[in-house]
Structure 1
Amino acid sequence: MDWSLIEQKLESLRRAIGRVEGRCPEVAVTLARDYDAQDIVSLNLTRAVQLCVDIANHVLSESDLPSPVTMGQSFELLEELGVIGPELCVRMKKAVGFRNLTVHNYDAIDWAIVHAIARHHLVDFKAFAEEVLLLRG
């Protein structure tokens, strides 16, 4: 496995999470009014999801499992390999759903949901990174 590539992606993930933490306001109504914060938070949450999918697919490329058909399936296959647990798998698949909504339906984003993700679910990305790093041993 190319650990330098994984570490580079994990560093990008750390930066994306840091941008969300640094720019997400305390309350959802402020995010709903601050277009710059919306852009920074939504873009970096989307990046975080994509980076996790990329890392998952890199890990899967070293396995005998078939290639995932969907982004969500990447996490299902990681669970099958024992890299992540079932609860984290479900949370990461929900993150993919959020990413798809953000990318494909930007004008219908509920900023209260984005705020809740930014304030309460960044731990999912951090947990994912920790689980991947356990592979290195």
Structure 2
Amino acid sequence: MVDEEVVATKLRQAHEYTNDLEEMRGISKAEYVSDVVIQRAVERTLMNLIQSCIDLAQHVRAANELSSGGTAKDEIQALGELGIISQDTRERIEEAVGFRNVLAHRYGEVDHEVVYEVLHEDLLWFERFQQEVAQWLRDRDS
């Protein structure tokens, strides 16, 4: 059974991380690329945001007694299979999971211009994820 408090907590965390990232958007690309402290703050916040989405998905998948495929992308895919998130959102969040792995494990050098673009172009997908999960949670209560 899905623990609504766990889902709500993860949604709140994701919302806070998204807001933090939105506040960091005001910096120019040149300043971002040259400032390692800001880079680390953005990267860590992105990793936390993506991880909160994974944790939420993992809880919902387990509560619905779906078997785990063993990867974080499989957890996100389960939300799509359950009809909780749209296909577009699922695909974009799955991409974000791969991006989190690059940031967390430093597979090669992190391209700071790419991170800057993610910061400015891709937060809307996390907002959609949050909206879709919140709608699913509301619909369950009706």
Q: How does the TM-score come out when normalised to structure 2?
A: 0.89
Instruction: Tell me by how many angstroms 1:84 deviates.
Output: 1.3
Counterpart Cα distance in 1 of 2:76 and 2:57:
7
Counterpart Cα distance in 2 of 1:94 and 1:35:
24
Instruction: Tell me by how many angstroms 1:107 deviates.
Output: 6.6
Q: Which runs of 5+ in 1 are unaligned?
A: none
Say which is worse superposed, 88-97 or 12-21, in terms of deviation: 12-21
Matching residue's letter, 2:38 = A
Hey, what does 1:116 align to over in structure 2? 117
Instruction: Tell me by how many angstroms 1:106 deviates.
Output: 6.9
Matching residue's letter, 1:113 = V
Asked if 2 retains the 8 angstrom alpha-carbon contact of 1:79 and 1:89, the reply is yes
Q: Secondary structure at the match of 2:66?
A: coil
Count of residue pairs the alignment pairs up: 137
Cα RMSD (Å) of the superposition?
Answer: 1.5
Matching residue's letter, 1:94 = E
Q: Which runs of 5+ in 2 are unaligned?
A: none
Instruction: Tell me by how many angstroms 1:38 deviates.
Output: 0.7
Say which is worse superposed, 43-52 or 84-93, in terms of deviation: 84-93
Counterpart Cα distance in 2 of 1:106 and 1:37:
20
Matching residue's letter, 1:135 = W
Counterpart Cα distance in 2 of 1:55 and 1:5:
7
Hey, what does 1:15 align to over in structure 2? 16
Q: How does the TM-score come out when normalised to structure 1?
A: 0.92
Q: 1:92 to 1:3 in 2, by over 3 A?
A: same
Counterpart Cα distance in 2 of 1:27 and 1:97:
26
Q: Secondary structure at the match of 1:108?
A: coil
Report percent identity of matched pairs.
28
Asked if 2 retains the 8 angstrom alpha-carbon contact of 1:19 and 1:40, the reply is no
Counterpart Cα distance in 2 of 1:37 and 1:18:
16
Counterpart Cα distance in 2 of 1:32 and 1:106:
19
Hey, what does 1:5 align to over in structure 2? 6
Say which is worse superposed, 82-91 or 27-36, in terms of deviation: 27-36
Matching residue's letter, 1:42 = E
